[in-house]
Structure 1
Amino acid sequence: MKHDLPDSLARNADDPNAGSPYAGSPTAGGPHAGSPHAGGPHSDLHALLALQREAYRREPYPAWEARARNLKALRDVLFAHRDAFAEAMNADFGQRAQGEVALAEFVALKQEIDHALKHGARWMKPQRRAVGKWLLPGRAQVVPQPLGVAGIVVPWNYPLLLAAGPLVCALAAGNRAMVKMSELTPRTSALFEALIGQTFARDHVAVVNGDASVGAAFSALPFDHLLFTGSTRVGHEVMRAAAANLTPVTLELGGKSPALIGEHARFDYAVDSLLLGKTLNAGQTCIAPDYVLVPRGREAAFIERARTRFAQLYPDFERNRDYTSIISARHFERLQRLADEAQAHGAQLHALGTHDAATRRFAPVIVTNASENSALMQEEIFGPLWPVVPYDTLDDALRYVNTRARPLALYLYADDARTVERVTRETVAGGMSVNETLMHIVAEGLPFGGVGASGMGAYHGYDGFCTFSKLKPVFTQSRVNGRKLIAPPYGRWFELVIKLMLKL
């Protein structure tokens, strides 16, 4: 999950995805430079990286018992301060629903930690691999090794989960880690920094807070792996900075995740389910359904069902404490501009509740007849604006999805196997849920990641362990082997062996 603007990197107050975060910021030296840049504005970051890299060299392969202790320590300190985190996030957002904090931050995080503790010892074990008949009786295996020092750039929308979730994967894999928190959630970021500082030595896990220049310098450090959660636009900048050091990256981006209600779907259930995904965190979720494709002629039914269900979910909306505020006045104003521009170009707005700039409470607005050229239909919305797009046939709906950038998530509501199979096979997305919204991200056996414009790489569970590991291939030659048969000088025996090897 991500935010529409990687606030630790963003520069432009008017466009949450605009501008380069690297203007005027230093870039790191050669690969694994690892030493402070004397006199540089962010030499402390390079010094911290050098400190962690030296600690990694002293203990390059920690035993599972040590890794498990680290995971339990992380779990214990964070869960011991659940109420403090809920209060901090509520203050940072202006209103963050306490139930959402419990569900979307702590439940998901507990599952990630518990899964790693249950399976991590097995993940560490070397895996036997085939060698092929010509290398027998040699042996082959893949040995997972810690990469070294991981960098994690955290967004504001789920500040605890998206800091600690990747950290769990990095620690399970035996790494050191530096975590850059968001300055748009200052209380939550400060609390996380303090608690991590109490729990881990700084050469093991360190939290970094600071403004945009710190975020840009952080992303340019020569980490052994960098995981960035943010917008597609800034993802380009992060990847360019990482390329200077050949730092491998996992980019968790976003885009416009479509929802498709099939012709014979359980319509009311589909609307209810999608509304839950769209209203969680007021739509400030990277895998929130960005727009919904409905059979032509069902647009009015969609609006009315959503209106009815929203009133049930959030009664007395103006005073309801279960609905989260938009993170900042700038983000609130951006959503209002998107709606106003769409309306100016002929779209109809169907508000499901009220808007209040003072408290930044922004009830969902369903948008019909939006121009394809409007910013609403071109940019990731990252909020409770919700375009409804009618379609005539499944072919038309698939064409609509496939002519756009590949999304982070795709949601299908259908019960017939043919429709499910077609949509599964004929679309490409970072992840997909059938008859559900958002829940694929918490399926503990599934990787989470994007594709194309929505990102690269994945994490969670075993896939997260692999992301932060080098799966080193190792071949061991047998004492008795046929290596001499294919060594120079190339004579008659060599020709016979090669002929046998190449025999079809």
Structure 2
Amino acid sequence: MNLHDLPQGALASALALQREAFARDPMPSAAVRRERLDRLTRLLKDNQQAICEAICADFGHRAHTETRLIEIFPSLEAVRYARRKLAGWMKPARRHTSLWFLPGRSEVRYQPLGVVGIIVPWNYPLYLAIGPLVGALAAGNRALIKMSEFGPNFGALFARLIREAFPPDLVSVVLGGAEVAAEFSALPFDHLLFTGSTPVGRIVMAAAAKNLTPVTLELGGKSPAIVAPGFDITTAAQRIGFGKTMNGGQTCIAPDYVLLPRGQEEAFIAAMRAFAQKLYGDAASPDYASVAHERHYARLRALLDEARAMGARIEPLLADGAISGRKLAPVVLLGGTPQMRLMQEEIFGPILPVIPYDTLDEAIAYVNERDRPLALYVFDDQRSRIESLLDRTASGGVTVNDCILHIAQDDIPFGGVGPSGIGRYHGPEGFKTFSQQRSVFRQSAWNASAILHPPFGKPLAERLIKLMLR
């Protein structure tokens, strides 16, 4: 079902269609859920070329191999993992029963919520649609998916592929601009997952609150990388460089800035430049992604122009070469000040501020004085110091001695904290996010509860109450 150029009431009708279907089958079996996940596997495997071409067209350019690695592969892995673990996730979980209520039994049962709304951003349009959809389907739900208007080619393709794989009362794709997105977020879903910027996340949450719709917000923020004293600067530069240049820096968990021991700045820039040139040659490389749309490209240029005008030193890592379109060569920025917009906003592009520090305590304080980020990257060889850094900072997730990779681990939850997000999904946490965790107490045929019924003052009851209150 492709809901584009929507007539009045079309979104509400689509939601009603799925609600009616859910009412007819509120607890699909594990076999049914696996079959639904298998449809996603076939969709991904059978349409790789078309997916790569559509995303490349939307970006202006993104290498097909990069799309296979950062979108198709993790999407397939998420489906495989959920399919394999599904039966175990669905089993009621036995819980402890208080001594006073034995031989009764307690458990938590996992029931589907109903219809899940998923709002997808433009930077990873496949993976950030499939990831939440896997959790929703594994938990037995139905889903409406709103694609970004900034990826029209992929949006149209994905709508068609979903329409061919699923009936509209199970999964549907919605296309359209900001007005459609606003109407979508105001629908009374049973759960709403939004991936995007923090400012838009506030708007989505406010709209959902009117229906008391529970939300998972996957936002962003300024994710720091801390390079500890003594860590090999070349290794840090290469791993941070790869995380920052992947997808042209347009990754919600890309390192946003680097905290570096003072005096290591020049060595870091030299190592990062050498690595970038080894990866791409120059910015015109077919392996280096363009900025995805004109408005974002203009924003990044404006951030650089402002920083340069305010005295920042900007060090290009790649020559432009025969650059065309919206490609922006990666740069390292020194001398950033709090007044600069790029030191306040999530950059979301190939611009990397480097901030020197004198002590590790100073670096930790710098992170803690700011909003809690979606990701934190710690580069250190000392285990005790790593543990201290983890204990003394807060973030949605962490990768130690690399970047990005925690998002690819299907058995650990993904999400932010505070301004960088609310809630978790992926793996078992995703299944639980999209499930009603229903508490059940099973009373036994024989039990002692009648002893405590009125009239009060019975000797046996009084002795029992004294024992309970000991």
Give the TM-score band, short-chain normalised.
over 0.9
Q: Does 1:495 align with 2:462?
A: yes
Q: Please say if 1:331 is aligned against 2:331.
A: no
What is the CA distance between 1:365 and its match in structure 2? 1.0
Shift of 1:418: 1.9
Q: Secondary structure at the match of 1:45?
A: helix
Q: Equivalent residue for 2:402?
A: 436
Alignment partner of 2:359 out of 365, 370, 393:
393
Aligned to 2:143, what secondary structure does the other structure show? strand
Residue in 2 aligned with 1:16?
none
Report the secondary structure of 2:295's partner residue.
Answer: helix
Between the aligned partners of 2:203 and 2:148, the Cα distance in structure 1 is 17
> Normalising to structure 1: TM-score of the pair?
0.90
| Residue 17 (structure 2) pairs with residue 51 (structure 1) | yes
TM-superposed CA distance for 1:373, in Å, is 1.5
**Shift of residue 193, structure 1, vs aligned partner:** 0.4
Q: The residue matched to 1:449 in structure 2 has which SS? A: coil
Other structure's SS at 1:317 match: coil
Structure 2 match to 1:258: 224
For residue 446 of structure 2, give the secondary structure of its aligned residue in structure 1: coil
1:322 matched to which residue of 2? 287
State the number of aligned residues.
463
Q: Could you tell me which residue of structure 2 aligns to residue 298 of structure 1? A: 264
Contact 2:220–2:416 (CA under 8 A) maintained in structure 1: yes
Query: By how many angstroms is 1:41 displaced?
Result: 6.2
Contact 2:281 2:318 in 1 (8 A): no
- How far apart, CA to CA, are the structure 1 residues paired with 2:282 and 2:330? 15
> Does the 8 Å contact 1:260/1:412 carry over to 2?
yes
State how far apart, in whole Å, the 2-side matches of 1:489 and 1:402 are: 58
Q: Select the residue among 225, 241, 245 that pairs with 2:191.
A: 225
- One-letter amino acid matched to 1:96: R
* Structure 1 gap segments, 5+ residues each: 1-39
Q: 1:496 aligns to what SS in structure 2?
A: helix
Give the conservation status (yes or no) of the 8 Å contact 1:42–1:217: no
Q: In the aligned structure 2, how far is the partner of 1:59 from the partner of 1:317?
A: 53
**C-alpha distance in 2, partners of 1:115/1:77?**
17
* Matched-pair contact (CA < 8 Å) for 1:346–1:371: no
Q: Which residue of 2 aligns with 1:6?
A: none
Residue 316 of structure 1: CA displacement? 4.2
The Cα of 1:437 is off from its aligned counterpart by 0.3
CA deviations 1:138-184 (Å, max 9, x no partner) are 00111000000000000000000111111011000000000001111
Deviation (angstroms), 1:472: 0.5
- Equivalents in 1 of 2:386, 2:8: separation in Å? 51
Separation in structure 2 between the aligned mates of residue 107 and residue 55 of structure 1, nearest angstrom: 31
Counterpart of 1:133 (choices 82, 86, 99) is 99
Do the aligned residues in 1 keep the contact of 2:377 with 2:399 (CA within 8 Å)? yes
- List structure 1 runs of 4+ shifted beyond 6 angstroms: none
Relative to the length of structure 2, the TM-score reads 0.97
> Secondary structure of 1:444's match?
coil
Cα deviation, residue 359, structure 1: 1.1
Q: Distance in 2 between matches of 1:171 and 1:229?
A: 18
Q: Residue type of the partner of 1:500?
A: L
CA contact (8 A) 1:406 1:428 kept: yes
**Which amino acid in the other structure matches residue 317 of structure 2?**
L
Whether the aligned pair in 1 keeps the contact of 2:282 and 2:318 (CA below 8 Å) is no
Deviation at 1:354, TM superposition (A): 4.0
Query: Could you tell which deviates more after superposition, 239-248 or 72-81?
Result: 72-81
Deviation for aligned residue 1:494: 2.5
Deviation at 1:353, TM superposition (A): 2.1
Query: Which residue pairs with 2:3 in the alignment?
Result: none
Distance 1:470 1:316 in 2: 51
Alpha carbons 2:194, 2:218 under 8 Å: kept: yes
Contact 2:283 2:323 in 1 (8 A): no
Partners of 1:316 and 1:401 lie apart in 2 by: 33
CA distance in structure 1 between the partners assigned to 2:270 and 2:96 by the alignment: 59
What residue identity is the alignment partner of 1:496? R
Q: 1:24-51, CA deviations, whole angstroms, 9 ceiling, x for partnerless residues?
A: xxxxxxxxxxxxxxxx964110011011
| 1:94-493 matched pairs, under 5 angstroms | 94-318=60-284, 320-354=285-319, 358-491=324-457, 492-493=459-460
Alpha-carbon contact 2:17-2:169 (below 8 Å) kept? yes
Are the equivalent residues in 2 in contact too, given 1:409–1:432 (CA < 8 A)? yes
Which residue type is aligned with residue 286 of structure 2? R
CA offset digits 1:110-147 (Å, max 9, x no partner): 11000011100110010111111001000011100000
- 1:327 corresponds to which letter in structure 2? A
The alignment partner of 1:400 has SS state of helix
Kindly state the Cα deviation for residue 99 of structure 1 after the two structures are TM-superposed.
1.6
CA distance in 2 between counterparts of 1:290 and 1:484 reads 63
Counterpart amino acid of residue 314 in structure 2: L
Measure the CA separation in 2 of the matches of 1:205 and 1:379.
Answer: 35
Mapped contact 1:257–1:288 kept (Cα < 8 A): yes
> How big is the alpha-carbon RMSD for the aligned residues of Structure 1 and Structure 2?
1.2
> Percent of counterpart pairs with the same letter?
52
C-alpha distance in 1 between matches for 2:323 and 2:8 = 37
Contact 1:226/1:250 (<8 A) preserved: yes
For residue 317 of structure 1, report the CA deviation from its aligned partner: 3.5
**Matched residues in 1 for 2:261 and 2:150: separation?**
40
Counterpart secondary structure, 1:390: strand
